Structure 1
């Protein structure tokens, strides 16, 4: 009979929190490059448009082409993470980021610019899946939300850094210099975090779950013992081993997985979460904010300065989300975040529709980004990292992030075309797209509340039963750690 004292002992299972956070912080540098690479274009796009004499469709392609690489990279990420390991895959990403930054900055033609940006997109697509995958596999379940929030925190941190860098480059420069050289300095500045990531990746261990998938149990035990203690590590390894349900090869056999109804459902939910994140319109704020704000800000320099506040708002939201995600759970944050995002989009749309000068449009974007930063931003990555059981995680995250980038491409490519449509511009002054995003955000909130159970505190090895309705999420946390204690005592 398990008494209250036993339960308290399990619940307070000691982990080396500082060690977990350190290795997750290194993995999160992939997120910094993710944010830096995708958002550097926001400050450079007007100058690139002028330098290469681009049409609205070509302008959209200049921004969205990177997402083509992201789609390919996301699709390959599952195979790479399974065959090469999480750590080596992240190192390859760092090399690709570096090649892209140098090549795009020195490109002499629009075609070569596109090629190098697509290479960067490959790295973003792989890192966007593998960084949170790695963090979900090294973080204990009671701090997994905080650890995975570091990924979004890093993405937003990278975006904020590049917004500041872009503004500093543009603040005292002429339009002609920006068109000739300024955008090259913006793109090339990414080399600095690339080098840092290349060096830091050698200071983290491989994922213990990947070690077990590849038959290296001794190395898995070493890492798990370093994270907590040997007794707890042995217990976790038993759960991991039981969760595989087959050979390592089955983990990447997509056709075999899709024949399983439960697996299909979990993958569908993961792909929908990823898709809906992009349909909120967040990347319009990230990629096109200066273009949107220029009509109310008065000048490009003022618009670039205002984007810094958008980055700060997003960072603040991530900090709030990280604080509450393991305390209050995923679903409440998603609900309140969605409602706040809808309000922010309506404020932006009102400022654009009425052509209100000043800071009203910026205020709406700030409201949107704070609420996005505490909800859909980090929790999307938390959910798609933890809803898949071990045997599905590589494939599930690969397909989910592929869907995320497909929708990102669609939004990035078509926004300039919708925003500069003569009829829509003359009648709605840029507000039409904001109304669309508000509608999609309302649908996204409904989907999560309807189909996504609470996963706070549930072990990765227990999450499949919760996703398929075979376990009560409200009792799953207690059941998971009580089971560990029983196994330790026996």
Structure 2
């Protein structure tokens, strides 16, 4: 196999963590429509059950930096695969054990821990094995895997649920939907044992020869030697600062972490997961679709999400990160204006559906993949693991807030019976999308074509050397 082919293959294996991220979070869309009726959940309890996994994501992301530094990116991915497997197997257990929504929440929390670990370790690992001119597209494989997971799980829930009556899906169908995740879980668990360890982590642990072996397998000798020299130079500076310690409150560090965390948070405040998690409710309650169409509409969402991710993959290293975010943000804004406007005017129809799909497609080509690309490359080497953990944890906290609050706001009297006529959530999200455009223009710089060490140098020019 060629070096390029091997690099892509290893990237795809690591990106399976993203596929399970998408599958595990997307499965809640197809199942919550039915288990909410099974457990007779209120809007408040529905928000709690759906968002419970995100608490695990938050905790997993917080601990991911420490685990990843101590055990390595590869071992962290293996641990996440084990957690995914336990969660998938256990989420359907209420069919054999006493019926309790608490049991479902516990296994969702375990799955959340796996997502939290993978969401930090996978893009970091991919960024650390990638040459700088291909890093954008290779890290985008992670986002492609996420949306592939969403699309595949929507197909799985459709084929599992479409052959059943609604009563059968409420009784047992949603359990089989959860169990379908075991297939990609076991695939990910098995394949992660065969990928190499991160060369940056190996050098950090004093195993330079092992790192050189990995880099020589993936790159030409010239590129491999340049990579190892840059890693060693960066780590030499890092070890020097370790004598006094690097604080996240340091004036040259804190602004970088704040910028990355805000970017991460804004990805969630677009409302993407409100649409992906509660797509069934949106189509049935807000857009008036019949229950028999709900699963089919979710496939449409997943297909658009999947296809438009390729737009980002083929343009992120050509157009750059900032242009994609700005173009996509205008598309997301227009999509929610169409959806919110038709709801407000009580004119729901094809324009409303176009608005939803325009929002999904615009997110998929911008804030979806580009946020992960920027997070994987924007943090200086000496703080990367800690900063990435903080930014990803903030993202999961934002995800939990949006996921928990959306059904409460959508089901409130203010939204349903008052001035807003079911449109309030989408206009709230629109305000945050406008803020994304402003924030991107003012605080983000273009990282296209720059090595991780060059990015670090730009930050040091802005805020001073990290001590």
Taking structure 2 as the reference length, the TM-score comes to 0.94
Aligned residues of 1:170 and 1:301 also touching (Cα < 8 A): no
1:39-96 deviation digits (Å, cap 9, x = unpaired): 1011111211111121110000111000000000000010111001111110111110
Residue of structure 2 aligned with 1:209, choices 200, 223, 228: 200
The residue that corresponds to 1:78 in the other structure is 65
Asked if 1:313 corresponds to 2:282, the answer is no
1:417 positional shift: 0.5
Which shifted more, 413-422 or 356-365?
A: 356-365
Structure 1 residues 250, 42: closer, same or farther in 2, change over 3 A?
farther
Give ranges in structure 2 of 5+ residues lacking alignment.
Answer: none
**Distance between the aligned counterparts of 1:461 and 1:99, measured in 2?**
38
Secondary structure of residue in 1 paired with 2:85: helix
The residue that corresponds to 2:315 in the other structure is 324
Give ranges in structure 1 of 5+ residues lacking alignment.
Answer: 1-14, 472-490
Asked if 1:432 corresponds to 2:424, the answer is yes
Structure 1 residues 168, 441: closer, same or farther in 2, change over 3 A?
same
Superposition pairs of residues 39-50 of structure 1, within 5 angstroms? 39-50=26-37
Taking structure 1 as the reference length, the TM-score comes to 0.90
Matched positions, count:
456
Residue of structure 2 aligned with 1:62, choices 25, 46, 49: 49
Aligned residues of 1:252 and 1:392 also touching (Cα < 8 A): no
Aligned residues of 1:96 and 1:120 also touching (Cα < 8 A): yes
Secondary structure of residue in 1 paired with 2:450: coil
The residue that corresponds to 2:283 in the other structure is 293
Superposition pairs of residues 65-464 of structure 1, within 5 angstroms? 65-107=52-94, 108-246=99-237, 256-295=246-285, 296-427=287-418, 428-464=420-456
Secondary structure of residue in 1 paired with 2:448: coil
Aligned residues of 1:453 and 1:467 also touching (Cα < 8 A): no
Secondary structure of residue in 2 paired with 1:262: coil
**Distance between the aligned counterparts of 1:153 and 1:232, measured in 2?**
26
Question: CA RMSD of the aligned region, Å?
Answer: 1.8
The residue that corresponds to 1:10 in the other structure is none
Aligned residues of 2:381 and 2:456 also touching (Cα < 8 A): no
Secondary structure of residue in 2 paired with 1:368: helix
1:373 positional shift: 0.6
Asked if 1:23 corresponds to 2:13, the answer is no
Structure 1 residues 355, 186: closer, same or farther in 2, change over 3 A?
farther
Structure 1 residues 213, 249: closer, same or farther in 2, change over 3 A?
farther
Structure 1 residues 249, 405: closer, same or farther in 2, change over 3 A?
farther
1:414-436 deviation digits (Å, cap 9, x = unpaired): 11000000122113232101001
The residue that corresponds to 1:474 in the other structure is none
Secondary structure of residue in 2 paired with 1:326: coil
**Distance between the aligned counterparts of 2:371 and 2:232, measured in 1?**
27
**Distance between the aligned counterparts of 2:55 and 2:371, measured in 1?**
21
**Distance between the aligned counterparts of 1:98 and 1:454, measured in 2?**
38
1:175 positional shift: 1.8
